[in-house]
Structure 1
Amino acid sequence: MLVENNVALQPYNSFGIAARAQQLVRVRRSADVQVLLGASEWADTPRFVLGGGSNLVITGDIKALVLKVEIAGRRLVEETPKGWLVEAGAGENWHDFVAWTLAQGWPGLENLALIPGTVGASPVQNIGAYGVELQDRFHSLDAVELDTGHAFTLDAAQCGFGYRDSVFKHERAGDKGYGLAGRALITHVRFWLPKPWKPVLGYLDLERKMAETGNTTPDATTLFDWIVAIRRAKLPDPAVIGNAGSFFKNPTVTPEQCADIIARDPKVVHYPMADGSIKLAAGWLIDACGWKGKTVGHAGVYEKQALVLVNRGDEEHPCTGGEVMTLARAIQTSVYERFGIRLEPEPVVI
């Protein structure tokens, strides 16, 4: 277990916000957590779990002990006639893991290609893209409770998955409830990839790819390549322009609310959901309010995709978390005043 003091966090958050951690521990084995919890010098120190930092807005230096999750490892746990059970360490890069499963001949995660972050963060956010959510492929996870050191396993039902939501994003209510926000560190995640494989194609961008190529029955590798190309065309590379990916959740409304918006804005992008609600494209709402390409301080709205906020600062004038949140609140106000819809941020703000 490696402990470092006064660590710059700019390399560890995809937005590239300049901040520091008083102390940072690199967790590379599950046993490291047990060692940490047994150390008297940190017994009363608050802790903050950091994965890939891709869904994070840091608004100041972090005084809590930062647990940087770097647990590696990938393996096939089991193969049956019905599917493959695959496991990865929480510190594995998510996109690299998706590419690896395909290279082994185990399809099922291709729609989730190029989502930034680590495997351990994927169930926290219940990541999703192009018609597939993590919960659709999730099997179980292992974690350690940070107060007691107790190791435990959760299945999908126990994770309480919702749209970009899970039990790991909720505080525990008193002595009851199952909220695990700030109380657990995920060490390993397992995924169930079913046989026979079936492509998920019900998105406009994928329909366009099929029309462009004439390929209406893409295999998993082709679908992976298409989604990587689509995402690269729309979204900035965090290594080039700091960002946290999609900044706002796509809101859901009733059919009546959607009809009211369509009556005023017929071009609004919307998708019917299985439960009868309607999902609206948050990026379209933001763009309709005129925010695409606009800047507040050193935080801006990406000119190719209004759903993404970006870092416009430099070494001399770095973007701050405060500037990002000022811009985010201004966007929320605009969308609410025009459409009566409150946008909810996706990233964790600390």
Structure 2
Amino acid sequence: MIETNCSLKPFNSFAIEAKTEQLFYLKTRKQFPELLNHIKIAEQNKRPILILGAGSNILFCENFAGLIIKVELSGIEIIESKNNYQLHIGAGENWHQLVANCIEKGIDGLENLALIPGVVGAAPVQNIGAYGSEFKDFCESVEYIDLESGELHRLTTEQCLFGYRDSIFKTVVLGNCLITQVTLNLTKQWHPKSRYGALNDLKDKTAKQIYQSVCQIRSEKLPDPDKLGNAGSFFKNPVVNQEVANALLARYPTMPNYPQNDGRIKLAAGWLIEQANLKGRQIGGAVVHQQQALVIVNQGDATASDIVQLAALVRDTVKQKFNIELEHEVRFIGAQGETNLSEVLKRV
């Protein structure tokens, strides 16, 4: 099914009004030939192509001048063995609902990633993570269709080149693949990951209790996008070398910091933004959230320009105060495809 001149407001959690020339709903594998034909026509007409999941990590900066593919592939198959559970999941399945269903079935491991918005197919792109867990920790493989050849490929975890909020899907194969399915492997030899924040205070650290605690923490900290438009964490947590971290800790002894396996230190972007006195800062209808400084919200009438300018203010203010430049985690989409804050500012 394809629509023309379609509003994208229902398909982005910022609830920003934008339009696309064409919108294709991919619901089943039987549609692959039809999809590839539409892609071929778009390419012949030199029109950009964008793959869209739930739109929970997207900022449409302007109308999109091409074809958007809305991925709605469904289906979950669980294969149980003596030591683990193997899950084959359609890319259009809701991520949080998957986590909730697993906890309900006694399949543990994903609890730290509860209430992360979006669909399963987007999880490997960003290598989503929270509270000490990342998607890559459970990934066995990712299947995708090559949009040029129409062939299906399956990448192992190692081949996905996962990094902090990064993967091969944001670099090498960007724009040429559409994730169709992911396979997760969850061991029955479960061990809690609970050293982050309030999770460390739990008495009985069962998967279900960690799940419930994560849901409570995220619900209290993060605004519901159905009530207040937002895309969750707007900026990545910066990772710096030990020398930079030590200099900052000398000035701010209580600064949250998390040693990484490579010897570097991860800092809390939300803390940096809050210390820069940016909570509640507003441009137009866009506001830095009062409860969680890492979130920029649409109060109901924000334009993409409002959000862009506020993001720039946050980035520049943190840079001035701490000499650390924040990178946006939210994907910026312009008329011709993915762009970034610096490029968009040139046109605002």
1:269 and 2:268 aligned: no
Q: Which residue of 2 aligns with 1:346?
A: 329
| Counterpart among 191, 196, 208 of residue 198 in structure 1 | 191
1:57 and 2:53 aligned: no
Q: Which residue of 2 aligns with 1:176?
A: none
Question: Residue 34 of structure 2 aligns to which amino acid in structure 1?
Answer: V
Query: How many angstroms does 1:37 deviate by?
Result: 1.3
Residues 17, 321 of structure 1: 8 Å contact kept: yes
Q: Which residue of 2 aligns with 1:82?
A: 83
* Structure 1: segments with no counterpart, 5+ residues: 171-178
| Counterpart among 221, 228, 239 of residue 252 in structure 1 | 239
Query: How many angstroms does 1:243 deviate by?
Result: 0.4
CA distance in 2, matches of 1:338, 1:43: 45
1:336 and 2:329 aligned: no
1:16 and 2:18 aligned: no
Query: How many angstroms does 1:42 deviate by?
Result: 3.7
1:163 and 2:164 aligned: yes
Question: Residue 189 of structure 1 aligns to which amino acid in structure 2?
Answer: V
CA distance in 2, matches of 1:329, 1:155: 37
Deviations 1:291-323 (A, max 9, x none): 01111121110000000011023xxxx322222
Question: Residue 343 of structure 1 aligns to which amino acid in structure 2?
Answer: L
Q: Which residue of 2 aligns with 1:236?
A: 223
Question: Residue 213 of structure 2 aligns to which amino acid in structure 1?
Answer: W
| Counterpart among 55, 72, 75 of residue 73 in structure 1 | 75
1:320 and 2:312 aligned: no
Residues 36, 42 of structure 1: 8 Å contact kept: no
Query: How many angstroms does 1:43 deviate by?
Result: 4.8
Give the match's secondary structure for 1:120.
Answer: helix
| Counterpart among 263, 266, 269 of residue 279 in structure 1 | 266
Give the match's secondary structure for 1:38.
Answer: helix
Residues 53, 118 of structure 2: 8 Å contact kept: yes
Question: Residue 336 of structure 1 aligns to which amino acid in structure 2?
Answer: K
Residues 221, 291 of structure 2: 8 Å contact kept: yes
Question: Residue 179 of structure 2 aligns to which amino acid in structure 1?
Answer: I
Change (3 A) 1:197 1:299: same
CA distance in 1, matches of 2:252, 2:243: 14
CA distance in 2, matches of 1:43, 1:301: 39
Q: Which residue of 2 aligns with 1:143?
A: 144
Give the match's secondary structure for 2:190.
Answer: coil
Deviations 1:130-179 (A, max 9, x none): 10000001111111111221211111111110000011112xxxxxxxx1
CA distance in 2, matches of 1:257, 1:46: 40
CA distance in 1, matches of 2:305, 2:147: 29
Change (3 A) 1:41 1:257: closer
Give the match's secondary structure for 1:154.
Answer: strand
Deviations 1:166-211 (A, max 9, x none): 11112xxxxxxxx111111111111110121111111122124x2x
CA distance in 1, matches of 2:272, 2:37: 50
Residues 42, 49 of structure 2: 8 Å contact kept: no
Give the match's secondary structure for 2:120.
Answer: coil
CA distance in 2, matches of 1:202, 1:125: 23
Residues 21, 63 of structure 1: 8 Å contact kept: yes
Q: Which residue of 2 aligns with 1:92?
A: 93
Aligned pairs for 1:194-233 (under 5 A) are 194-208=187-201, 210=202, 215=203, 217-233=204-220
Give the match's secondary structure for 2:121.
Answer: coil
CA distance in 2, matches of 1:310, 1:148: 40
Query: How many angstroms does 1:129 deviate by?
Result: 0.4
Query: How many angstroms does 1:104 deviate by?
Result: 2.1
CA distance in 2, matches of 1:156, 1:199: 22
CA distance in 2, matches of 1:124, 1:309: 22
Runs of 4+ aligned residues of structure 1 deviating over 4 Å after TM superposition are: none
* Structure 2: segments with no counterpart, 5+ residues: 334-348
Q: Which residue of 2 aligns with 1:28?
A: 27
The alignment of Structure 1 onto Structure 2 pairs a total of residues equal to 330
Q: What is the TM-score with the length of structure 2 in the denominator?
A: 0.92
What is the percent sequence identity of the aligned residues? 43
Query: How many angstroms does 1:34 deviate by?
Result: 2.4
CA distance in 2, matches of 1:295, 1:119: 33
| Counterpart among 297, 303, 325 of residue 310 in structure 1 | 297
CA distance in 2, matches of 1:319, 1:185: 31
Q: Which residue of 1 aligns with 2:128?
A: 127
Query: How many angstroms does 1:46 deviate by?
Result: 2.6
**Cα RMSD for the two superposed structures:** 1.3
Residues 37, 43 of structure 1: 8 Å contact kept: no
Residues 141, 154 of structure 1: 8 Å contact kept: yes
Query: How many angstroms does 1:251 deviate by?
Result: 0.6
Question: Residue 328 of structure 2 aligns to which amino acid in structure 1?
Answer: P
Query: How many angstroms does 1:228 deviate by?
Result: 0.2
CA distance in 2, matches of 1:193, 1:37: 34
